[in-house]
Structures are given as C-alpha cells and as structure tokens.
Chain A
Amino acid sequence: MRDWREDVRPHLAGLRLDPTREAEIVEELAQHLADRHAAHLAVGATAEEADRLTRGEIADGGALSARLQPLRQARMAAPLPVARGSRWAPGALWLDLRHAGRSLRRDWPFTAAVVVALALCIGATTAVAVAVQALLFRPLGFDGSARVVNVWLSRPIRPNWHFRVPPADVRTIDAANHVFDGIGVYDTQPMNLTGDGPPEELATAVVSAGALQLFRVDAALGRVFTVDDEAPGHTHVVLLSDGLWRRRFGARADAVGRDLMLDGVPHRIVGVLPRGFAYPGRTDAWIPHDRGDSHGNAFLLARLRPGVDVARADAEMAVLVAAITNGRPNPGMRFTVEPLQASLTRSSRASWLLLLAAVVCVLGIGCVDVSILMLARGLQRRRDVDVRLALGATRAHIVRLLAAEGLWLAVAGGAGALLVAWGGIRGLRALAPLDTPRLDELAATPTMVWIALATAALAACAFGLVPALRGSRGSVDATLKASGTPAAIGRATSRLHGALIVLQLALALLLLIGTALIGRSLARLTAVDLGFDADRLLTVRLNATGGGDAGAARRMDAALRAVEEMRRLPGVVGSTTATGPLLTGWGLPDATRTLAQRLTIEGAAVGDRPEEANMRRVEASYFQTLGIPVRNGRGFTAADGVQAPLVAVVNRAMARALWATDAPIGRRFAFEHDGPAMRWLEVVGVVEDTRDIAPTEAPAPTFFVPLLQHTRWMEGTPLHLYVRTSSDPVLLADAVRSVVWRLDPAQPVEVSTMAVAVDQFHRAPRFRTVVLGALAMLGLLLSVLGTHAVVAHAVGQRRAEIAVRLALGAGRGEIVRLVVGRALWLAGWGGVVGLVAAVIAARLARGLLFDVGPMDAASLVAAAGVLLLVVVATAYPIARRAGGLDAARALRPEAV
C-alpha cells in the first residue's frame, strides 16, 4: 500500500504545530487517504484515476492549512529550549526574550493595545508628575530653603489679604522673638529700565540687607547689600540677577560699577547674584530697602532657627502680637508663618494638584485597560501554559517566559511613555500661563526617565506575572481534562471584566465631569459682566510717586492736562484718569490703596457696626469713558471742582448695603482718611456695580469722589489713564505715550490694554480647561479600548447563546439590543460610581470653580451623555457583527 504521508506533510507546512502532534495528524490523514485510494481502486478506478481522486481530497491552495490555522494546536509556540544546569545563563535568557518577542509579534493587536495604553497613561502621568515636582515641591535654589518663611500680617478688615508690616513692628518682632535666626523685609515693584538697549520693565525686589542674609546667598560677582546701603540718602545701588546680567551686559565682569537707569534714576551696580537665585519672588534686580522711609511698610521674611517648625513659630507670633499692639488700636491683627516655597506656589498649587488628580485617573484607566487585555490573553494562554507544563517545562521556565514578555511590554511601553512625557512637558510649558511660579524651572530631567521606566516595568510585571503565576499553579491534569471548561473560566473573567470596566468608566466619567465643570467655569468667567466696557480701552499707568505733596500736585495737574490732550488725538473717543488700577488683581501695590475706608453715615446710630467701602478718586468723565451706566442721579461734571460742595457717586452695592435703597440721592457720609475734621460728602448719583479688582471678585461697595476735591494721600498713589479708542487701541499707544512725556518727561509709563488685563484672568482657567480636557479625551480613548475588549470578549463568550437566539428567530436588532444593553448596564454602574466620586471630588476642587456649583446639573448630564454615547458607539459595531450572522451560520457558534 502506498504511503501518503509525504503528500500530507506539505499542506501543514505553514502551521506552528508541535512536532509530535504534527506527526499524528500526518499519520491520521495519510491513513484516510490510503483508505480512500483503496476504495477507489476497489470500485474499478485505474491507478492514475485513484491517485488523482485521492489527491483531490486535500485541495491545493492551502485550504487545509487555513482551516487548521484557527485551532490552538496550530499556534503552538516552538517547544521551550531546555537549558538544564544553566537556567539563568545569558544564552537562555536571550532565548526567552526572543521567544517572548515572537509571541508578542504574533499577537500584535494585543501587543499594540498594551503598549499604546502603557505609553499614553504613563507618559501623561510622568509629565504632570515631573511638572508638579518641579513647580511645587522641588526645594528652592538656595541653602536651607525649607527654613525661610514669610510672616504674613492680616487684619480683620480683609482676613485673606497680606498687609505690609510697619517698620516699628518689624523692630519689635526682631527684638522679641525666640524662633527666628534672622528677619528681613522686602517688597516688590516693577521698575522701568531705560538706557542702553530697549526699555523693559524689571521685576524688582526692595530688600533689606537682612533679607538677603536669610537666603545665605553671596554675590557671584561684586558684593551684596550692607546695612550702609539702607541708610537714608545713600547712593542708589542695585544687584542684578544672573539672567539680567547676561541679557543686558553679555555676562561681562565690568558690569559691576556701572550705572543702571531705573525709573529714570541711575543706580550703581554693586553685584550680581548667582544663577538660579530669584527670590523672594521672580526677581530681575534688587534694590535696598530705605530705612528712612516712614511709609516703608514691607513684607516680612524670616529664617527659622534649627529645630523650630512652622507651628511653633506661628504660636510665638500669636504671643508677640500682644507686644506689638500694646497701646495701639489694632484689634484682631494676626501674623501667620508660611514657608516661602508654599507662598511662591500658592497661586498655582490647586491647579496643578487638580491636574495631578486627573492624570492619576488616566493612569487608573490605562491600568484597567492593561488588566483587561492581560486577563483576556491569560485565558487564551492558560491551556498553552498547561500544555507546556505537561511537555516538561518547569514552572520557572513558564515564569521566565512570561516575565520576558512583561519585560518587552515594559520596555516598549516605557519608551513610548518617555516620548509622550517629553512631548507632554513641552506642551505644559508652552500652555501654562507665563506667570506660573517657577515655570522656567520645568524641563525634562533624568528623573523623568526613571519614573517612566520604573512605572512601566512595575505595571507590566504586575500585570504579566500575576496571571503567569496563577496560570502556572493550575493543575495540568485538571486543565487538560477539563478542556471544555474555558466557558467557566470565561464566565469568571467576564465578571472580573465587568468590575474593571465599571471602575474604568467611573474614572472616565470623573474626568469628563471635571472637564465639564472647569470648562463651564471658564465660559462663565469669560462671559462675566464687568460692569464697564473693556473693549478698545487703552490703560496707562503713571508709575512715578514721591516728591511730597508738591510732586503729587504737579503730577495730577500733568495727568489732567494729558487727559485733555488725548481727547484731541484722532481715533480717541474719550479719556479719563483715576486712582486705583482696574483688573490688576491684588498684585499691584496701589490696588490696596483703594481698599476699605471706614465710613460714618449721617443719621446712623453711634455704636453701629462701622461701615466700609472702597474709594476711587476719578476725573469727571470717568463713568462716561469707561462705559459705566449711571442708574440714578448724575455722574461728575467739571463743576465738581475744588470750591464746589463735596459730592460722591456710589455704586449700587454701596447704596443697598448702607441705605438699603437704589437711590440714596442726597444722603451724606464721611470717610476716615479724609483728614482730622469730618467732611460730609453728599451722594449725587448711583452707578452700576463694576468688578474692579478681578472678574472673579464680586463687586464691593465702592464710592467715587472727584479727583480735584480729594488730594490728600496722593503722594504715593499712582494715577491711571484710560483712553477709549475707535479702533485697535494698541495703534494709539505711541501717541498716548508721547503726550504723557511731552507734559512730564520724567514720567515712566506702562501702556497696555484692558483686553490684556482681562485676559490674564482667563489664562490659568484656560490652561486648566485645555489640559484637563486633553486628559479627559485621553481617558475616554483608553476607556474605548477597554470597553471594546470587554464587549468583544463577552460576545465571544455568549456566541453560543446568540447563535441559539438567532436560530430561534431572534432578529438582528434583538441581538444588538442584547449586547449594547449589557454594555450600557455596565456603563450605568460606572456612571453611578463616577457620579458619586465626582460629587465628592468637585467639592474638594470647589476653589477652582467660578460661578458653577459642584453639582451643576448641565455639566453632570453632558458628561454622562458623552460617556454613554461613547460606550454605545464602541459596543454597537461589535453587536451588529454578532447579530449579522444568518441563522444557519449561527449554528456554528465559533465560526465567525
């Protein structure tokens, strides 16, 4: 009888059969062919005919191979190399790695999904973690940065506001405390640098010599300040930052000894501070604090003694307040000690922590993805592992092989994560608001590489090895015999999958809700009614101060003449001037000068709670130029001059707070700082509320008085000009500047637009929205991956059921409903968990929300809607495919 084995063998060539199994198949099929051949001969076929007919049993073109391909036995990995005695030899490890690499390549959709999930979530996490570490937690660039603290003064008038400390109090604290190694004072002010090169505004710190000593900083070039530099009337001196020195002097050593024109005054350069030193704020230059300045209130810095912590210093300051306020009417004043690092990062901390929390959600979502994929693969691998064990592989072999797979995934995922992190950090730097503290210190670092690789390795090992160990523990015999029980394992996996996907969708919903809330906050913020028209409005800050009452009077006169001249410029619709800046936040020193004035209300009972309101001194056309509507009575006119009766215009908030009416015309009040003799002001008009400090600050009770009627305390108060233009205000900047300089050549001016001032309040929320939105999109994308895997797996598990349903007449729609319904059921649970988590989280992040409650229904509904939509869109195609079989095909449940 003819041997047909050689006819069969080529048809199996493309398969990865175990050699023993291959021999069996060859034998079995050859036997069949031999029987068939004999049968053909028996019914009278010629030898050639019988040969031809028999060969026809296996069609050419690889049909047999194609049909065997889907079988597990045809995808067997080559037998494990047995490396006895040298189990951990490099050669054996290399073999394992090659082997694992091949196996991952073969299962490339799985590999790609895991690597992409790892790269995205670990990369994003690394980028934000590096940013948070650099911006919030990395020690400041000087010796003992944790010991330098701000000692903030607050008063009950404005508990959240930091007041400058009077020199007398500084002396008391210096003499009486037991907790500080030294104290110093500082203030910050922008100064105009002119002279060689383009003029620029420098961030200047006014510091005492003691303050610089707190930082234990020495000059890189020249010297630092001495006590002599603080003496009244001493030569003006300045210290440069490394950056300014390089920028303006090309890092030349002979810069020391030259003069720098600051606000039009020459300052002798005495030294350059080391690179990386820019404290107490972001500082370009330092000038000495003038001890002779009686108004020289300043912020207080101190260095904690070794062994003294912030709490103890706080307690000591509480005791010292008694000594400080002794005999002076300052009830309720309070000092708080805060590490400098915390003070510097306070403004951006909440934002970054929010992003960190968001990225942890993304990491969670990615980990769930990897778990789901690994579980599904583990299910496939279980038999594979058991067969290997049966074939004589040791447990160690299996673990090594799976660990090698984990290693590949970790390396690929980690490398991807590094790319993502690198891009992420660049993106964060580019997007972050420029005033983010320490932003210039943010860069990709070697630490980042370690964070990314370690996280990836940890993830891949955890997800690779745990199923491996679980798999290798299983009884070989049991699995082989119970080869019909993958269904049972599958059901268990389905349950685990369900729990994981609920977790994942909950996290995704959390991110979506966060984005919706933050995004709506931004929308509310940009839509906020400022109460005045910020369009086409040029702002000019006249920086010069000092010179006593004569200087102030001269400057005011020049400003009023400038206002007149500007009105005549082509393209100018109106112009005015006032004290107190608009929309500069709490940053500018003169923002505080409009602060609460104590009022006496005519006719109010003595002993009533003292009323407070902000004051602005304005030129007559202020309301008209800024577009602030007058609601009752009148605005100011040129007639409200020095000789005229004293008048005031109040905003609606003040009218309601003080007189509980919208029209308190004719009522009278006086304010504390007007002078020793009480002067009554008569209310002649009520204007609409405006948001003067920031769009986020609710309008405060405010009254306006004619500039000419109130010239007291003008010496230290810069004036602001507002110019309304008919087209782009920037075009008029030069013309406006030259008007000011023609009238007062020594006046440094800061020209900007109100649009820029408004925008600065949008930058941080916009950054938060954009980054959070990107993270939410990433989370959603990764959830799609997980949802797809889970739904596809569930459909695979339920194929038999689906087949029967189809056979029994179920329509395609019914199957689609079945599959999508299951996905929605899981999404529903995820939604419930996510909503609960979001409600809790939103409460914590309340400080970042503007005009949107943490339970904002529209945000919650929109986020949940997006999530459900995405789940349906993911599940629907799978469901359609499952329901798209015709009844006959469906009777072969695994035939898809």
Chain B
Amino acid sequence: MFDRELKKGSAELLLLSLLDAQPRHGYELATLIEQRSRGALVFHVDSLYPLLYRLEERGWIAGRWVEQAGERRRRFYRVTAEGRRALAHRRSAWTGFVEAVRLVLGDAHA
C-alpha cells in the first residue's frame, strides 16, 4: 500500500500526465486513476476537485465547459504550455527520485 503522503505528493503529477494525453473531465480522471492503479489509488470528490482548481489557479491546466448533444455540459480540463513545462520538470524529478530510491534499495539488497 502506498504511503498517504507519497500518494498526495504524486497526485499532481498523476493528474497532469493523464491530462497531457487528452482533455478530460473530473469524473473521467477519478475513474481512470482508480482503474489503472487497480483500486490502490482512489480520489474522492473532496480531494480531486480542490487539486484541479489549484492546478488551474496556478495556470498549469485550463478548464472549459463543453456541451455535447443530449448530455449535460461537462467541464473539461487540458494542460497549458506552462503546465507541460511543469509536468516535464516533475516527471524528471520524480524519475530521479524513484531511481535514487531504487538504487538505495538495490544497494541494500546487493
């Protein structure tokens, strides 16, 4: 099981990278994360949306209401240019971190 802090820390990275592929709405993001993590990561409304709004305030993602025929309108989020830069930055930091941890653990086993 993931440490709670670790999960929180990586949440922004998760959201940004999911949105990087294509614009999505909040429900879709929550479902995707839950499915892809096989239920290990669950985002409830009360944690997902504050995170999205914060990323939006920071200018890394932008939300927009989209109406589709026969459906109620939904708010879709996409990554901005700034967000993409932040994502790249985060990704490399994360990779570096994971690599570092792996090295340490690997050394310990060796």
- A residues lining the B interface (CB < 8 Å): 11, 24-25, 28-29, 31-33, 35-36, 39, 56-59, 63-64, 67-68, 70-73, 482-485, 800, 803-804, 807-809, 886-892, 894-895
**Contact A57–B6 (Cβ < 8 Å):** no
Q: Is the CB of A71 within 8 A of B9?
A: no
16 extra interface residue pairs, beta carbon distance < 8 Å, beyond A483-B57, A891-B97: A32-B49, A36-B45, A39-B31, A58-B45, A59-B46, A64-B46, A68-B50, A71-B50, A484-B60, A484-B83, A800-B89, A803-B93, A807-B94, A808-B96, A891-B93, A895-B8
- Counting chain B CB atoms within 10 Å of each CB, the highest count among A24, A32, A70 belongs to A32
Q: Does B80 contact A (CB under 8 A)?
A: yes
Digitize B15-43: 1 where CB-to-A-CB distance is under 8 Å, 0 elsewhere.
00000000000110011000000000000
Decide yes or no whether B75 CB sits under 8 A from chain A. Answer: yes
Residues of A within 8 A of B31 (CB): 39
Does B107 have its Cβ within 8 Å of any Cβ on chain A?
A: no
A31 to B75, CA, bound (A): 10
> Whole-angstrom distance from the CB of B97 to the nearest CB of chain A?
5
User: Is the CB–CB distance between B9 and A892 below 8 Å?
Assistant: yes
Closest to A809 in B: B100
Identity of the chain A residue whose Cβ is nearest the Cβ of B89 in the assembled complex: A804
Tell me the interface secondary structure of chain B in the complex: helix
CB closest residue in chain A, given B46: A64
Are B44 and A57 in contact, CB atoms less than 8 angstroms apart? yes
Contact A807-B96, Cβ < 8 Å, known A31-B74, A58-B45: yes
**Closest B residue to A54 using CB positions:** B45
A474 to chain B, nearest CB (A): 16
Question: Within the assembled complex, what's the spacing in Å between the Cα atoms of A800 and B89?
Answer: 10
Q: Which of A63, A482, A808, A888 contacts B9 (CB 8 A)?
A: A888
When distances are taken between beta carbons in the complex, the residues of chain A under 8 Å from B82 are 484
B26 touches A888 (CB 8 A): no
In the docked arrangement, what's the CA distance between A68 and B51, Å? 9
Are B49's CB and A29's CB within 8 A?
yes
Contact of A891 among B3, B65, B94, B100 (CB under 8 A): B94
Chain A residues with CB below 8 A from B10, complex form: 888, 891
CA distance in complex: A809, B100 (Å): 8
CB distance from A861 to the nearest CB of B (A): 44
Could you tell me the distance in whole angstroms from the C-beta of B58 to the nearest C-beta in chain A? 7
How far is A32 from B46 in the complex, measured between Cα atoms in Å? 11
The docked-state distance in angstroms from the alpha carbon of A807 to that of B93 is 7
- The distance in angstroms between the C-alpha atoms of A71 and B52, with both chains bound, is 11
Q: Do residues B44 and A888 form an inter-chain contact, with CB atoms below 8 A? A: no
Task: Give 25 A-B contacts (CB < 8 Å), ordered by A residue.
Answer: A25-B49, A25-B53, A28-B49, A28-B74, A32-B26, A36-B27, A36-B45, A57-B44, A59-B46, A63-B46, A63-B47, A64-B50, A68-B53, A73-B53, A73-B57, A482-B59, A484-B80, A485-B59, A808-B93, A888-B6, A889-B9, A890-B9, A891-B9, A891-B93, A891-B94
The verdict on A808 contacting B26 (CB below 8 Å), with A483-B59, A484-B58, A892-B12 known, is no
Choice from A39, A57, A890 contacting B45 with Cβ under 8 Å? A57
- For residue B60, which residues in chain A have a CB less than 8 angstroms away from its CB? 484
Give the one of A35, A56, A482, A890 with max B CB within 10 A: A35
Instruction: Determine the chain A residues whose CB is within 8 A of the CB of B74 once the complex forms.
Output: 28, 31
Contact A32 B27 (CB under 8 A): yes
A887, closest chain B residue (CB): B97
B72 interface contact, C-beta 8 A: yes
B51 CB to nearest A CB, Å: 8
List residues of chain B with CB within 8 A of the CB of A28: 26, 49, 74-75
Interface string of B68-88 (1 = CB under 8 A from A): 000010110000101100000
Inter-chain CA distance A438–B8, complex, in Å, is 70
Considering the complex, give the chain A residue whose CB is closest to the CB of B7.
Answer: A888
Judge whether B27 and A67 touch: CB under 8 Å. no
A290 and B5 alpha carbons, distance in the complex (Å): 97
A886 to B30, CA, bound (A): 26
B8 near A892 with CB under 8 A, answer yes
Partner of B47, one of A11, A67, A483: A67
